Chain A
Amino acid sequence: MPHLLTISPDFNTKYLSGWFVFNTWLQKSLGEAIHLELFDDFESCRNAITADKIDLIYANPYDASLLLRDKGFAPVAHPQSRPDEAIIAVNASSPVGRIEDFKPGMRVSATKDPEVNMICRIMLEPADIGPNDIQIVQRDNYVLVAKDLMKQEADAGFILAETFNDLSPMIRDQLKVILKSQIHVIHHMLLVGPKLAGKAGQLQQLLCAMGQDDKGRAILRDIGVNAWDPSSREDAEFMIDLMDTLIV
């Protein structure tokens, strides 16, 4: 049975083929058979984690606690200077100019990404808008969220900052950013499960050396990662503690 690798469902689809190439590189470098399985949504990804099906994962910080503390995963590496940040955006013509202008009852267009939704909800707190004060219009991806804003079918959108920057200039020009988070310390992380624990050190060395040759750099570029930095157990624990302060 090959090992199972998965990528947190919030990955940008433009990197889809890049992750398959990354997996080919991974199998060759580690000398292990690994199958890349992608899940459509966070729920099915979580179910696979809970059922102990996953051996390697590029994980969302939201799942880090489950993986590291309950499922015996070990941290390996995280992308250099690529923190997870979120944006609250509105239609360019919206009268809203700052967070405090939002009113309870507002319609928010959002995906199911639990991390982005958490950060954006926190950014609404200064306006005294709690989870029960917003009506969520759920969409499958951020382009649909942007469209809701353009068509004024929502008063605000919760968007992953990186994806926002990838929207076409034509779309972006019709939107206005009210606030972008600057949390800096929350990021995705590559983790290995118990069955591959013996390979964690080797994998860390391989990943962190990827930026040293052209081939490695090309693979990295196609998954949107500059370079990998090693993640220690304590780095990961620190991030989990931090997430714990933010999750209600």
Chain B
Amino acid sequence: MRDMTPDDLGGHSGEEHTLTYFDGFRRKVIVVDREVPFPEGKLIVSRTDPIGIITHANPIFVEMSGYSEQELIGEQHYILRHPDMPAPAFKDLWDTISKGIKWHGYVKNLRKDGAYYWVYATVVPNIRDGQIVGYTSVRRKPSRRKVEEMSALYKTLR
């Protein structure tokens, strides 16, 4: 996974951040204040292996992320992490799903072009023969009221 560059933003400038992920990997991301609306009536679906590497993405996932399918499969799901998302939200996610329990939450995601999209996400463990072999996440369109509420809350947690 490479650093983002102004080219990813079509030459536009944005706010630069350096993110450090759970595995120590660091990456420069550039964000712009532009929201891409969640498509009506659709679901964004992806699956990962047990450590969060993307193994499957549906066409809406690919479209909303701004990446190509080849760029996504095999990468860590943190490729979508937005600097506005507080670390405790993801800690809660991993603490929950690694115990085999379903997790719900509101997530602001970063696109390849620096814009963002809000989702209401549900993650379930894929349990086969008693073992967690991966995770499935399905995102749906959140209400505006919830997005505003969560966005205010996340600011206090960062």
Contact = CB atoms under 8 A, between A and B. Distances in A.
Interface in A166-194: 179-185
B126 to A, nearest CB: 5
Contact of B138 (A100, A126, A180, A246): A246
Contacts of B142: 125-126
B18 interface: no
Interface residues of B, number: 25
Q: Is the interface of A mostly helix, strand, loop or mixed?
A: helix
Contacts of B146: 128
Interface string A115-134: 00000001101111000000
Given A128-B145, A246-B122, A241 B40 contact: no
Contacts of A123: 40-41
A242 B140 contact: no
Interface in A132-182: 179-182
Interface string B110-146: 0000000000101110101000000011101111111
Contacts of A246: 122, 138
B106 to A, nearest CB: 12
Interface residues of A, number: 22
A12 to B, nearest CB: 22
Contact of B126 (A99, A127, A181, A241): A241
A43 interface: no
Interface string B34-45: 000010111101
A244 interface: yes
A25 interface: no
B136 A125 contact: no
A160 to B, nearest CB: 14
B145 A245 contact: no
B138 A242 contact: yes
Q: Which 8 A-B pairs have the closest CB atoms?
A: A245-B122, A245-B138, A128-B143, A241-B136, A126-B141, A181-B41, A179-B41, A244-B124
Given A99-B40, A125-B143, A182-B41, 19 more contacts: A123-B40, A123-B41, A125-B140, A125-B142, A126-B142, A126-B143, A128-B144, A128-B145, A179-B41, A183-B42, A183-B43, A184-B58, A185-B45, A237-B126, A238-B47, A238-B136, A241-B136, A242-B45, A245-B124
